[in-house]
Every structure is written in C-alpha cells, then in structure tokens.
Structure 1
Amino acid sequence: MLRVFALLAALAGAAAWAAPPISPDSMAARTQACTLCHGPQGRAGPDGYYPRIAGKPAGYLYNQLLHFREGRRHYGLMAGLLDPLSDAYLADIARHFAAQEAPYPPPQPATAPAATLERGRQLTVNGDPAKRLPACASCHGAALTGVEPLVPGLLGLPRDYLNAQLGAWRNGQRQSHAPDCMADIARALSAEDLSAVTAYLAAQPVPANAKAVAERAQGTRSVPRCGSAVMPAGEARP
C-alpha cells in the first residue's frame, strides 16, 4: 500500500503543473487518484488501457468498484486503493463520475475488412439466434450508449480495451455476481466473432450528448437480468 500511494503522489506531482485548481474538500479532489489514470473528469487514459468512466451509469460504476475491491476483477493498483473504502464511499465515487459530462474523441479509423465489420454489426444489432447469442443492443441500448442504472455504453472505447475485457470474461479474470451474463456470452463467441464485434464497436462514433437511456425507454425489465449489487441510497458528498 505504501508503494501504491508513493507512486500516486509522484504522478500527482508530475501532473500538478497542468491541473486546474480544485477545491480541497470536493469529490474532484478526493478522486484525483482516479483521474491520474482515467484522465481528467474520467475521460479515459491516453493509452487505451484505462477506460472512460465519465458519464457511465452510477450503478455500473459502483458494481465495478466492488468487483475490484472484492477480487472479481483483478488489478492490484485498483484493489489497493479501494480496499479501505466503505460501500457508501464507493457509491459516492460512482455518483461523482456518473455526473461528469465530457466530450468523446472521434473513433480511430477501422482497419478490419468490410466483411468483418458487417459481421460485427449483425451481432451487435441482431445477435445470432442460431448460436444463442443475444444482440449487444438488447442490453446496452439501441444506441449502444447504456441503460440506467446498471448497463454501460459500448461506444467510445478502444478496440484493444474491448478485446481485453471480453478476453478476461472468457478466461475468468473478470467476473460478476451470478448470473454472470457477460461471461456466458464471451465464452459463446468464437474468436472470429469476438474480433468482429470489437472491430465494429470501436469504429462507431459516439452520438452527440450521448447518455444511458432509462430502463423503461429501453423496454428492459425493472429487475436486472444479470447479477449486480444494489447501490446504497444517498447523494454524492460535496
């Protein structure tokens, strides 16, 4: 833990010259350890390894923080930072980043063949009933921008990150509460189909003013179909 915080302190000092003033008693100040890796406001790190967390549904962010803290997702730096934090404080962090509105960068040009991109589009929009694969849009929203309160958007993420996360679900390095729907889907995807989906998603622009839609607007059930923890009630701290 001492090494983790020493590293964060060094990174903070190196970046301090470019950072705007932050009120010392604010969630922006308390979450600087997050933005050192995830970028200002949680926009994403420059290398594609640290994903965007700004504007993601609060319930989704809260569950991911729990997963890191409790070992269902594996990254030592995250686990070390989160281990001493309470569920209520994790919920505060999740609400803070869910409220951040920041522009998305344009997607990188697609390099996959047209046939691969079309297969990815078909799986994303329609799924593949013969392989019992649901469409990504059936859970992540017709616009793929997420569904409140628990389902994240899939756009604005680098292909390398998408590949890494689906791979982590396939091999058990990333898990969720039962039923772990994404693990089942990732394992049902062939290597070719997984590559097609990530190529298609990474090439799509993010709609202007993209937000997760309300559950009723998406037509999903009020009870999550996939496993999740209930977020504590309350408001983010000032």
Structure 2
Amino acid sequence: MNRRWDVIAASLLAAVASLAGTGSAHAQDTAQIATQGNGKGAPPCLGCHGVDGAGQAAAGFPRLAALDATYLRRQLDSFADGSRENPVMKPIATALSSEERQALANYYSHLPLPPTLAHPTAPDSRGALLATRGRWSQQVPACEQCHGPGGVGVGAAFPPLAGQSAAYITAQLKAWQQGSRHNDPLALMQHISKALDEEDIKAVAAWFAAQPLDHAETTP
C-alpha cells in the first residue's frame, strides 16, 4: 500500500473513532454507508465524493471532507425536502434516515483536508476583485465578507469555497441564479447570483478553486 492510501486509511479510521458513541447510528455503520451504502437505496458516498472526501473536480462533485457538520446536515435535509434541487442527491438523501444524515455529516466533518487540495493553481484577477472587493454598484458585497479570507468558510451558514472545484462553484451559482437552490440565509445568494453574468461566475469560481487550503481550519 503506497503512502497516499496509508494517509487515506488513517483518515477514515480517525473519522470512525471520532464518531464512537454518537447516537444510535454506530461509527462502523456510518463508515459502511460512506464506503458501501446503506442497503436501503443510498449508494456509497465515495462513488462521487472520493474515499477521502475530496470530491471529483472534473465531474463537479464537491469536497465534503472537513466541512461543518451542521452545514452538511442542512444540505442533506435540503436535498430531501426539495429546497435544494438535485436529481442525483434527492433520492439518496431521502433514502437516508435522519440519524444516518447526522452521522454522515459528523463523519465527513471529521475527515482532514485532503492533501491533494493543498496547492492549487494561480488566481484570476477578475475573480479576485469580486471575491475580495465585490461590486457595490450592483449591491454585490465581496464574497470574503461572508465566506472568510480566501474562502475558508465561516461556521454552518457560509461554507468553504476554497478547495471546491470551479465546476462545482459554477453549478451552485447558476442554481441560485435559476432558483433551483433556495436554502440560503435571507436569500443572500439568490440576490448576489442574479447580479453576476457568465464571465463573472466563471472568474470567481476559478479564483476560489485556486485558493490554497494550507491555512484553513480543519473544521471551518
């Protein structure tokens, strides 16, 4: 087994250990859902989000590792109740019990930041302006005002943008814009996304995807 798989295996064991004693959904059961599914309609999470929770950039599947547990639980609930529309995630979320959703949220929040995300590429200048200064002529604040410096995330309401792929960030901005996602606090993202054009979205998504995670907290 090479070093990468040693790191991944250690991460999974640490996550399982951290969940010991959390509710009636046992730690081992949670790891089994992540790696094998729950046998009740929910496939293994790793099929899309990777064994280390890093996601798949090319396919637009997001990073789950080290995200806030409350945020992750809210997204699973939103997929199930339709406030976040997604034809792939809706049947998966509805196939998970309330306890399983919470257990998975805790599981992924305890996984460390994947090492493959530590040194992304250089940022885009147009995206940098939107991310760090905003565009006040259209009442668009800087993204960093809510999502933190470099997009590292702030609590359960404002998730990390750094370390997510440009494809995923782009898809979410368009989902806010088109109304297929509407589980944002005070409809903030619905307003902001509608003020952005195609080039704005492409630029700001690329900028956040390029931000390093070396300085990010393990649990944003």
Fold equivalence (TM over 0.5): yes
**Mapped contact 1:57–1:212 kept (Cα < 8 A):** yes
Identity %: 31
User: 1:37: how far off?
Assistant: 1.3
- Counterpart of 1:94 in structure 2: which amino acid? A
Contact kept? 2:163, 2:209, Cα under 8 Å: yes
Distance 2:159 2:209 in 1: 15
What is residue 131 of structure 1 aligned with on the other side?
138
The CA distance in 2 between the partners of 1:46 and 1:118, in whole Å, is: 21
TM-score (norm 1): 0.70
Which structure 1 residue ranges, 5 or more long, are not aligned? 1-18, 214-238
- Does structure 1 conserve the Cα–Cα contact (< 8 Å) formed by 2:57 and 2:164? no
Letter paired with 1:62: R
SS in 2 for 1:180: helix
CA distances 1:100-137 after superposition (whole Å, capped 9, x unpaired): 11424256645xxx9xx222112111212221101111
TM-aligned CA distance change 1:170 to 1:104, over 3 Å: farther
In the alignment, structure 1 residue 30 sits paired with structure 2 residue 29: no
| Residues 150/88 of structure 1: CA separation in 2 closer, same or farther (3 Å cut) | farther
Unpaired runs of 5+ in structure 2?
1-7, 17-26, 36-43
- TM-score with structure 2 setting the length: 0.75
Taking the aligned partners of 1:46 and 1:133, their CA distance within structure 2 comes to 27
**Match runs of 1:3-42 below 5 Å:** 25-32=28-35, 33-42=44-53
Alignment-derived partner of residue 189 in structure 2:
182
The aligned counterpart of 1:153 is: 160
Coordinate RMSD, CA, aligned:
2.7
1:166 to partner: Cα distance: 0.7
Match of 2:72 among 61, 76, 101: 61
Give deviations 1:149-176, integer Å, cap 9, x for gaps.
Answer: 3321111122122111111111112221
Question: After the TM superposition, which residues 67-146 of structure 1 pair with which residues of structure 2 at under 5 Å, given as runs?
Answer: 67-106=78-117, 109=121, 117-146=124-153
Of the three residues 173, 181, 204, the one matched with 2:211 is: 204
Find 1:191's aligned residue among 198, 201, 208. 198
What does the per-residue CA deviation read over 1:29-52, in whole Å, with 9 as the maximum and x for residues that have no partner? 122211121101312126342111
Equivalent residue of 1:67, what SS? helix
Larger radius of gyration: 1
Query: Is 1:31–1:93's contact at 8 Å kept on the other side of the alignment?
Result: yes
